[in-house]
Structure 1
Amino acid sequence: MQPEQTRALLALCLMAAFADQRKDDKEREQIKRVAASLGEGSGIDLLALYQDVLLKRITLENAVGALDARELRHLAYEMAVGVCDADGVHDAQETAFLEKLRASLDLPPQQAATILDDADRLAAAPPSAPLPAELDPPRPSTAAAKPAVDTAELDKRILNAAILNGALELLPQSLASMAIIPLQTRLVYRIGQAYGYSLDKGHITDFLATVGVGLTSQYVEQFGRKLVGGLLGKVLGKTGRAIGSAATGSAFSFATTYALGQVAKHYYGGGRKLDGSALKTSFNDLLGQARGLQQRYTPEIEQRARTLDVSKLMAELKV
């Protein structure tokens, strides 16, 4: 993939992020931070690209014009759908943007509809839906009284979810990135449920935003790290098992998931008494710990990436 093609895909990614025009200042600042972070050492001034997109100095037609391969155009649309659906099923403004993008990419309507339907089903699934079997194994029913919260079991589930999301970041399929956010929201739901709280998607989204995790900015970062790291370029259009140069992205997803799980355990386990500032401080402290922990589990993350069936996982998440 040529630098101008990488730049064009990232421009479309940012356009999709701003398509609904409802992003608050906090989310815009997070996306700006992501652009600055991804630009370091990439050879692309992504902070300047962020400003060009925000100020409409680069058009959708300009970006699409650099994508001269069918696989690149398919990837561009799939990526844009993932960004628009990261914080819920796309709204009317995002729908209009995606249709304009589809037409500009000359993508067949049925092909685009299949991508959109898959992403919408994933975005619409409630956080109370089951976790994948490997994270939420069935337990025999019992008439015994409900036991106290098993914190060791919660820790194991949090670690397994972090390993799985770290593995997803190593895979070339852009669909793999779409699975990370639903896995995180369901993990938070399960932790809240363990402590007697029934959470809806709005509460979980607010919880993530309070600790400093924006859904749209997180997806932009996941996709951008794969693209800048060369993983998508090396295996574009293929479904191979090769693990690309995405170690930084894997560490990011592992650490974010682990810290989210642990701060949720502290928050709901403590009766939801932490305020926003304390939650953010706790999350940042745990994020630092998780980054160190990730190195210890790198072999397990890579092994999971080699054996993971993304199609099966996506099917489980869409129910």
Structure 2
Amino acid sequence: MSTEEIRAILTVCLLAAYADGDKHDREREQIRQVAEGLAQDQQINLPGLYQDVLMRRVQLADVLPKLASGEARQLAYEMALCVCEADGQTSPQEQDFLTQLREALDQAPTAFAEQASAVSAAPLDGPVTALPEVAKPGQAVPHPVAVDTLQGTAAQRRPGNLSAADMDRKILNASILNGAIELLPENLSTLAIIPLQMRLVYQVGQSYGYELDSGHIKDLLATLGVGLTSQYLEQAGRRLLSGLLGKGIFGGLGRQAVSSGMSFAATYALGHVANQYYAGGRTLSTQMLRDAYQHVMADGRQLQTQYLPQMQETARGLNTAKIMQMVRGG
């Protein structure tokens, strides 16, 4: 795929992200940060593409002729669809954008759109994973020091139905699963990471007696600085720029580590910070939550190399059908 086509695909994704014209300032800032974080390739110049879209200097009609190959056209449509579905709902404006894009790219209606909707609307009360445990009872599991330091801030700790060791294993297994999913070549796999992260947060809260809904979990993620749309853009953008998206599973250890490490670290941080938040009776301040999330993200990035072999092995046993079953609660 040419550099020009990659630029065009990313521009379509940014246009999709702003299709509803109703982005909160916080979400705009997260998307801007993603653009800057993916700016390693000067030929792509994603921050420049972001500014062009934000300032309305580029329209869909300007980009479509640059998608020369059938592969690029299909990938552009699928990624745009996932961007619109990432937050679990597609607005009428986003639906109009996707219809216009699909017709302009001559993409016939497929099962992909239905599958993407099913993934983004996955129930919260299903199991995180039925995969084998990577850490057995009695084995030491990494526990971030940054989260430990928050224990004294809560006025009263709530009892949970899992031991500390069991909770650590639960979070680690979910992190390895999401790291493994990001090694897969399909857009649908990348989209599945978000609902699986939300389900982990739901189950952590449930272990302390909280019955959460998707709105509460989205608010918590936003408080931590995790936007659903921006997270998908970052995950898919890294894979596209590194040549993993739409390709084979194993394209070089270094590229795998960079890609899967983001989802591993984000899931690891979400799980541990959510654990401390609900264990402490939801008394932590916004700034404390954000600081803790950034600290534990750093821990997760260091650990992802250690657990990369488990991610690779897990990825070998995954496919789209299995992922669909997991996110639907099967």
TM value normalised by structure 1: 0.90
8 Å contact kept, 1:42–1:228: no
Please list, as runs of the form range in 1=range in 2, the aligned pairs for 1:210-229 lying within 5 A after superposition. Answer: 210-229=223-242
The equivalent of 2:50 in structure 1 is 50
8 Å contact kept, 1:123–1:182: yes
Deviation at 1:46, TM superposition (A): 0.8
The equivalent of 2:205 in structure 1 is 192
Please list, as runs of the form range in 1=range in 2, the aligned pairs for 1:101-140 lying within 5 A after superposition. Answer: 101-108=101-108, 110-111=109-110, 114-134=111-131
Deviation at 1:151, TM superposition (A): 2.1
Letter of the structure 1 residue corresponding to residue 51 of structure 2: Q
Task: Name stretches of at least 5 consecutive residues in structure 2 with no aligned partner.
Answer: 134-158
Deviation at 1:128, TM superposition (A): 2.0
Cα deviation, 1:76-98, whole Å, max 9, x if unaligned, reads 11111110011112011110111
Q: Secondary structure at the match of 2:250?
A: coil
Q: Secondary structure at the match of 1:232?
A: coil
The equivalent of 2:269 in structure 1 is 259
Deviant stretches of 4+, over 6 Å: none
The equivalent of 2:61 in structure 1 is 61
Cα deviation, 1:129-158, whole Å, max 9, x if unaligned, reads 33332289xxxxxxxxx9843221111111
Cα deviation, 1:11-63, whole Å, max 9, x if unaligned, reads 01111111121211111111111111111245321111101111222221222
8 Å contact kept, 1:225–1:246: no
The equivalent of 1:143 in structure 2 is none
Single out whichever of 165-174 and 215-224 deviates more from structure 2: 165-174
The equivalent of 2:304 in structure 1 is 294
Task: Name stretches of at least 5 consecutive residues in structure 1 with no aligned partner.
Answer: 137-145
8 Å contact kept, 2:201–2:270: yes
Deviation at 1:122, TM superposition (A): 1.6
The equivalent of 2:250 in structure 1 is 242
Do residues 151 (structure 1) and 164 (structure 2) align?
yes
8 Å contact kept, 2:74–2:107: yes
8 Å contact kept, 1:14–1:50: yes
Deviation at 1:308, TM superposition (A): 1.8
C-alpha RMSD of matched pairs (Å): 1.8
Q: Secondary structure at the match of 1:223?
A: helix
The equivalent of 1:280 in structure 2 is 290
- Aligned-pair identity in percent equals 49
Letter of the structure 2 residue corresponding to residue 257 of structure 1: T
Equivalent of residue 269 in structure 1, options 267, 279, 284: 279
Letter of the structure 2 residue corresponding to residue 152 of structure 1: A
Single out whichever of 208-217 and 288-297 deviates more from structure 2: 288-297
Q: Secondary structure at the match of 1:170?
A: coil
Letter of the structure 2 residue corresponding to residue 131 of structure 1: V
C-alpha separation between the residues in 1 aligned to 2:128 and 2:315? 18
C-alpha separation between the residues in 1 aligned to 2:217 and 2:73? 33
The equivalent of 2:153 in structure 1 is none
Q: Secondary structure at the match of 1:199?
A: coil
Single out whichever of 152-161 and 118-127 deviates more from structure 2: 118-127
The equivalent of 1:172 in structure 2 is 185
C-alpha separation between the residues in 2 aligned to 1:19 and 1:94? 5
Letter of the structure 1 residue corresponding to residue 120 of structure 2: A
8 Å contact kept, 1:188–1:261: yes
C-alpha separation between the residues in 2 aligned to 1:51 and 1:84? 19
C-alpha separation between the residues in 2 aligned to 1:241 and 1:221? 18
8 Å contact kept, 1:30–1:217: yes
